[in-house]
Amino acid sequence: MKSPKQHVIEKKIVKMLSGKALEAAKILIYDHEIQYLQDYANTVSIKRLHYNDHGPVHMRKVALNSILLADLLHQAGVKLSLEEEEIGSFEDSKVAVLIASFLHDIGMTVGRENHEQSGMLLVSPIAERILKYLYPDNLKKRVILRSLITEGIMGHMGTQRIHSLEAGTVLVADGCDMEQGRARIPMMLNTESKVGDIHKYSSSAVEKVEISAGDKKPVKITVHMKESVGFFQVEEVLSPKINSSPIKNYIELYAGVDGEKLKRYL
């Protein structure tokens, strides 16, 4: 059964989309196989590995972030890679970004190590099924988007170099999901201190990550936190992902404790 938070995010995603991207979103949201995979990814991540949320809420949140980032770039006149290279439209790019971000952590069903690679083994037939429905008579488009989806999933950890703006959008969108909700579940399950707790406590200090139009660049990311330990998340998780992303030059990054002056990183 889906959580209320899943339903809230799904409504936001649907409201932001139209055309083929909307069709793709409806398939992703209502597909039982995808839901089971996302649920199991969370079981493995939280209960077995004692890690944070990598399930349906997280993947939906990253999808929402990806769409927002892509729209802000588009509204500022930035052409994503498919459009710039004249091999696809902005709508095609949104389809690829949406599928990649919505399914990027499916590999957590196998384990944390190399979950990008194991994820692609599981995602590939699902992505092909969706693309065949959306582009039944366009094999070329399916081939291109399948590769773009693969790049988005393989590159979402920032450990593999990526080149398209679409994949760069997925990478940054994933880094932006570090609000306190992601740490709350594992902290409730296990309160004993152990190696790695800094990730839980620093993400718990992050109250909100705001993605909006920038002042001088297309995108502004502002991280609001209640304690300075949240800077760990910005400097060790989000910043490295932005620095590895092809959309870095289009981003302004700010962070700060509520009531204090924001620190500008980019």
Reference 234, options 243, 223, 245, 244; nearest CA is 223
User: What is the token pair recorded at 264?
Assistant: 């500008």
Average pLDDT, integer, range 178-199 = 55
pLDDT of residue 45: 86
Give every strand in the sheet of 206-213, ordered side by side: 206-213, 219-225, 251-257, 263-264
Task: Report the pLDDT averaged over residues 6-19.
Answer: 97
Strand partners, 264: 254
- Domain chopping of the chain, boundaries: 4-174, 181-264
How high is the pLDDT of residue 131?
98
Q: How far apart are CA 4 and CA 60, in angstroms?
A: 13
Q: Given pLDDT bands bounded at 50, 70 and 90, which one contains residue 241?
A: very high
> Taking the CA atoms of the chain, what radius of gyration do you get in angstroms?
18
Residue type, 141: K
Would residue 204 be called left, alpha or beta, if left means φ above 0 and alpha means ψ between -120 and 50 degrees? Answer: alpha
- From the list 164, 150, 179, the residue with the least C-alpha distance to 5 is 179
Grade residue 10 by pLDDT with cuts at 50, 70 and 90.
very high
Query: What global pTM score does this model have?
Result: 0.91
Check if the beta carbon of residue 100 is closer than 8 Å to that of residue 25. no
CATH topology of domain 4-174: Hypothetical protein af1432 (1.10.3210)
How far is it, in rounded angstroms, from Cα 33 to Cα 31?
A: 6
d(CA 66, CA 173): 5
Structure-model confidence comparison of residues 70 and 53, the more confident one:
70
| 264 has a pLDDT exceeding 70 | yes
Ranges 30-34, 52-56, 152-156: which has the least confidence: 52-56
Looking at residue 188, its pLDDT comes to 46
pLDDT for 71: 98
Tell whether the model's pLDDT for residue 132 goes beyond 80.
yes
DSSP states of 67-110: HHHHHHHHHTTPPPHHHHTTSS-HHHHHHHHHHHHHHTTGGGGT
**If residue 119 lies in a helix (H) or strand (E), which one and from where to where?**
helix 115-134
Higher pLDDT, 191 or 253: 253
Q: Report pLDDT for 203.
A: 64
Which pLDDT score, from 0 to 100, does residue 49 have? 83
* CB-based contact 149:125 (threshold 8 Å): no
Query: What is the chain's length?
Result: 266
pLDDT in tens, 142-167: 999 999 999 999 999 999 999 999 99
255 φψ region: left (φ > 0), alpha (ψ -120 to 50), beta (else): beta
Written as one letter, the residue type at 132 is K
Based on the number of CB atoms within 10 Å of its own CB, is 238 exposed (0-12), middle (13-18) or buried (19 or more)?
A: buried
CATH architecture of 181-264: 2-Layer Sandwich (3.30)
What percent of the chain lies above the pLDDT cut of 70?
91
Check whether 184 has a pLDDT greater than 50.
no
